[in-house]
Structure 1
Amino acid sequence: MKKIIFAFCFSPFLFLQTNAQELKTKSNWQNLDFEKDGVRGMSVERAYQELLKGRTSKTVVVAVIDGGTDVNHEDLKDKIWVNTKEIAGNGKDDDKNGFIDDINGWDFLGGADGQDVNHEQVELTRLLKKYKDKFGKDPSKKLIRKNQVEYDLMGKLQKEYDEKRAEAEQYAPFYAQLYKNYTESETILKNHLKVETLTKEAISGIDENNVDRTVRAAKRTLEKFMELGATGNDIKEAVEHYESELKYNYNLDYNPRTVVGDKPDKLQYGEYGNNEVQGPDGMHGTHVAGIIGASRNNNLGIMGVADDVKLMIVRAVPDGDERDKDVANAIRYAADNGAQIINMSFGKPYSPEKKWVDDAVKYAQSKGVLLIAAAGNDNLDVDVDVHYPTGTYENKERAENWISVGALSWKNAPDAVAEFSNFGKQNVDVFAPGVDIYSTIPGSKYEEKSGTSMAAPATTGVAALLKSYFPELTAAQLKKIILESSVKVPDFRIYKPGSKEIIKFEDLSSTGGIVNAYNAVKMAKEMMKVE
């Protein structure tokens, strides 16, 4: 699931996003330097200015496996990968790679008729549905005994499903009422002030002693929302979030896969999907893509980490949980079509076809491809509670071409680690900026978002930067450099994600480090023996 964490909350269950234009910290903070700028960014600008000036680079292809990307965004359109072996729109597989008209990538959630899957069940729901169909309403003792493990798992899944659905049923009307209160108050004040757009100053300037009760109440309502940092769009997103959970994610009877027309229990590589890579909602993937490689020299919007990349767009992540077959096929597609680095900002707690994904990771390794994945946003120890996909195979061996990334905040200790970030001394490798990251969103717009979904592409950008200036580096060498050059802060004491327990930062990952482009470039120069 492509999951973004929002920046404040009305309840323990949902974090709402603040106004994107009112930046909470320094613009471009993920690329700044701690010594020079006072925030624990990745020292990207310093690396360009002090170590890379005058050096030539070679274009690197980075695959963004996500929910879709706006390939026409003003800050991305010049950075989108184009399959030059394919003739656009002729309905033929010109390059014989198994995918017709795959100009900018491929959509594994699309149908041959051009339709796309937007919403999906979560894996929990799909598994529960599978076992309910298998056991029926009154299973025999013999059937249960013969399939005891699955029957017990069904009970566990049912309990979890009931809890999740009950939560959505509770909060959907709650946020719907909040949104109603907000919009009604907004209308009242716009009419009172005779304006089309409300500002904080205009609202604060209303004299409560000289207005009627409805205006006074509307003013107080909006001031309360402003105090919490909420906008109308934030609350609307909350409503849509819970309504989506009820209608799609936790609905046992929902099945959108007929749109794709595939066989979900078979891999079918090259036999399904379409070439429409933005999809119905490219918000998440567009934000991720911008962090990696938004144009650095066009005087627009933001500056991505890597300055010489082409972004291959591979759509495999819906609103709901991605299917293992789509993830496996997306990795294979990227590896087959020239991607040198793959970003994966998604995840889920169940992976029934993990072997398919493991095989794809191994295939990517055989092609020399580095995979960089978000650690997840549930403040869990993923050494205990696994977050899929994972760089640990079923046989417990670790993939050599995999980096798992936790999220760092711009705040000082003890709040320096994102409260939502997953962690793990064995299964999370390193941390990178992932809170209040300003990046591209569809329609040539920009917005702040938070999540390990943002920390992964920040790291992917550094990997692409290294590969572009030192093209001889292998996937294993890129991983070694990023991990070993990460900034170690042994005396750092922070809140354990999700609690107020003070722990050592170094206990949250295998390296105990923070990704740093300046250190990484220095190490790459030493490894490659160049000045």
Structure 2
Amino acid sequence: MRLGTPGLYLGLSLLLVAGASPAFSVDAPAKKIELKKLSDLPPHTYVIPGKPSAFVQDPAAVRILAAAVGKDLQKDLDTYDIQDKTTLKRFHGTLAIIAMLEGKEAEVRAHLATVKGLEDKPAQKLMSGLMLGAYLDAKANPGGDFKAAFRKALDKALAALPYQEVQDAIKGQKAAMEIGSANLITGQIAASLDPVITDGKISQDLGGGLLGAAFQLETILPVKAEIVASLTAVLDANRTARKADIWAGRDEALKASASLHPVVIGIWDSGTDVALFKDRLWVNRKEVPGNAKDDDRNGFVDDVNGIAWDLHSNKVVGPLATLEGKPEKIQAAKASLKGFVDLQANVDSPEAGALKKLLSTLPAAEVKDFIEGVSQVSNYSHGTHVSGIAAKGNPAARLLVDRITFDYHVHPETPTLEQAAKDAAAMVQSVAYFKAHGVRVVNMSWGGDLKSIDHALELNHAGGTPEERRLLAKKIYDIGYKALDKAITAAPGVLFVVAAGNSNNDVKFDEVFPSSFRKPNVLIVGAVDQAGDQTSFTSFGNVDVFANGFEVESCVPGGELMKFSGTSMAAPNVTNLAGKLLALKPALGTQAVKDLIIKGAEEKVVAGKTIRLIHPARTLELARH
């Protein structure tokens, strides 16, 4: 699973409510059981009638599931000592939705208050529960025009917020609401779940997601126009207000000179359009381009600028994959991707307008093709975008491409032990290739997690009972984790820069790799925005430094410039800094590079915790003295 992708804010993160693992049940103990990792939660399963896409439109059936899920969530809260704030926010957020569906308004407010109290990120804390609070305020005064009352309550709540702190959150919320529709929600469920949930059995993960979808359909979409109007009014009233951009003032481009030393930078990602980096590529001089031979007999054919793997970890050729599908559909998907990016930035572009129009009329049956088309283009663009950030301002950068393939389909393939072993072997060979060709720093804007493996097994009816499935998922996860851990440990001369992830979670508690690794030659990067404030999506729990991961401009295949957001964009900003350090001081060891990046960083206290924001100019100045 890829981490740090440019988030599209489809408003459909409804089916991935975090879940559980090895099963054991207990009567309510006098002392709660300490929960050390997410997979220690017991699994819960439910049965729903009919197809999931129809189920979310059946209020009576939804409320039966809501009661069952709510009972289990409350039991787990009573049984386990859960210290992880992300898990607690998820529990209470789902309980708030359940209380809303059941008309228990006092319970809704109580759970919203708990979630708000658990939130550490300032902007998210300010926005937490705001819309539901306005909804409840409007309901508290029956007899009038409810929608007008809701709009008035929401306007009042938004007006009370400090705009400078919440402007990006408001833009993101507006973008999500503008593209939200019943067809988009039910179409995604129909594409991803209807073909596989044939017996009605679902996990608590999927159950919580379906309840969220039903809540969107029943409560949020009917007031969509009021929400969009209220958010738009705030943005329009503050068009001249902008958060300060700290990054231009602390960046430093190196000038080409004889004193710079070429530094090989590995881009372990979805592929790179090498035509855009002709003077900044690593070149294997022992390989004859395009002759379909392994001239240097290293096991890779035509590895002129690096190596490549397909979805199943077979060796393939070429630094950039070929997009699948008809040209007109590919072009439409590219335009939609730009539309998503522009909507998130509140840019009224032709692509943004066309996307809103398209999604307002898109039939549910066409949602699957639409999502897969945009996902494929996003994956295709990802590695080139990362490469552009990593090489910017460094004429000594020499990019070595290690292309891996990310699946863009709505329905995941069945994870197996055999494929896990093959993937692990490919990772080991990749690290060995980096070592053999003098790579000093590698960018890794991707990763995998235990929960996603379990989810994919469930969707493919694989792995047996929930308990057996969890055990199999852990075995599959451990194969990749242990192999990559061992390979990186054996490459102390290479600095691996890793994106923390975009799930707003603790990567250690949720068991995510490689962002949970703690090693001298691994640097974990979280994302902040233009002002140095943590983004809503950035994961945490094991982050060394934070860098700009918000609307970062770079190139995509073909050369067009686009602004993507994600820890995928933050990580190559750190890779860029490491590359510049090594261009200036090639004798620096891995630990020294890491120490300079951390030492030069600016410390910032957020919610009582200290984070480090990279400061390239200061770090480079430290290296010069």
**TM-score when normalising by structure 1:** 0.55
* 225-234 or 451-460: bigger deviation: 225-234
Q: Which amino acid aligns with 1:402?
A: V
Q: Which residue of 1 aligns with 2:522?
A: 402
Deviations 1:83-128 (A, max 9, x none): 1121223333222322122101111217568699899xxxxxxxxx
Matched, 1:518 2:617: yes
Distance 1:43 1:329, change over 3 A: farther
1:419 to 529, 536, 551: 536
Q: Which residue of 1 aligns with 2:107?
A: none
Partner SS state of residue 79, structure 1: coil
Distance 1:96 1:284, change over 3 A: same
Q: Which residue of 1 aligns with 2:65?
A: none
Distance 2:508 2:258 in 1: 41
Q: Which residue of 2 aligns with 1:484?
A: 599
8 Å CA contact 1:118–1:318 kept in 2: the answer is no
Partner SS state of residue 438, structure 1: strand
Structure 2: runs of 5+ lacking an equivalent: 16-171, 178-242, 324-331, 337-341, 413-419, 451-476
Matched, 1:107 2:312: no
2:402 to 300, 314, 319: 314
Distance 2:365 2:439 in 1: 35
What does residue range 14-93 of structure 1 map to in structure 2 within 5 Å?
38-41=244-247, 43=249, 45-46=251-252, 48=254, 56-73=259-276, 76-93=277-294
Distance 1:371 1:113, change over 3 A: closer
| Residue 44 of structure 1, CA deviation | 5.1
Distance 1:240 1:334, change over 3 A: farther
Distance 2:600 2:366 in 1: 39
Partner SS state of residue 491, structure 2: helix
Distance 1:66 1:381 in 2: 23
Distance 2:618 2:365 in 1: 43
Q: Which residue of 1 aligns with 2:488?
A: 361
* 238-247 or 439-448: bigger deviation: 238-247
1:342 to 435, 439, 442: 442
- Larger relative CO (CA 8 A, sep 6+): 1 or 2? 1
Partner SS state of residue 624, structure 2: helix
**TM-score when normalising by structure 2:** 0.47
Partner SS state of residue 423, structure 1: coil
Partner SS state of residue 457, structure 1: helix
| Residue 245 of structure 1, CA deviation | 11
Distance 1:327 1:236 in 2: 40
| Residue 386 of structure 1, CA deviation | 2.6
Q: Which residue of 1 aligns with 2:132?
A: none
| Residue 7 of structure 1, CA deviation | 6.5
Distance 1:42 1:462, change over 3 A: farther
Partner SS state of residue 267, structure 2: strand
Distance 1:233 1:66, change over 3 A: farther
Q: Which residue of 2 aligns with 1:473?
A: 588
Q: Which residue of 2 aligns with 1:288?
A: 386
Q: Which amino acid aligns with 1:287?
A: H
Kindly report structure 1 stretches of 4+ aligned residues shifted beyond 6 Å.
14-18, 52-55, 112-119, 234-242, 244-248
8 Å CA contact 1:331–1:342 kept in 2: the answer is no
Matched, 1:447 2:447: no
RMSD over aligned CA atoms reads: 4.3
Deviations 1:187-229 (A, max 9, x none): xxxxxxxxxxxxx9xxxxxxxxxxxxxxxxxxxxxxx995999
Distance 1:313 1:359 in 2: 22
Distance 1:472 1:44, change over 3 A: farther
Distance 1:114 1:487, change over 3 A: closer
Distance 1:244 1:423, change over 3 A: farther
Distance 1:361 1:46, change over 3 A: closer
Q: Which residue of 1 aligns with 2:326?
A: none
8 Å CA contact 2:500–2:524 kept in 1: the answer is yes
| Residue 54 of structure 1, CA deviation | 7.0
Distance 2:365 2:356 in 1: 10
8 Å CA contact 1:438–1:449 kept in 2: the answer is yes
Q: Which of the pair is proportionally richer in helix?
A: 2
Matched, 1:333 2:433: yes
Distance 2:515 2:288 in 1: 36
Distance 1:241 1:40 in 2: 42
Partner SS state of residue 273, structure 2: coil
Distance 1:352 1:411, change over 3 A: same
Q: Which amino acid aligns with 1:458?
A: N
8 Å CA contact 1:43–1:517 kept in 2: the answer is no
Deviations 1:250-307 (A, max 9, x none): xxxxxxxxxxxxxxxxxxxxxxxxxxxx9995300000000011xxxxxxxxxx1433
Q: Which amino acid aligns with 2:306?
A: G
Q: Which residue of 1 aligns with 2:145?
A: none
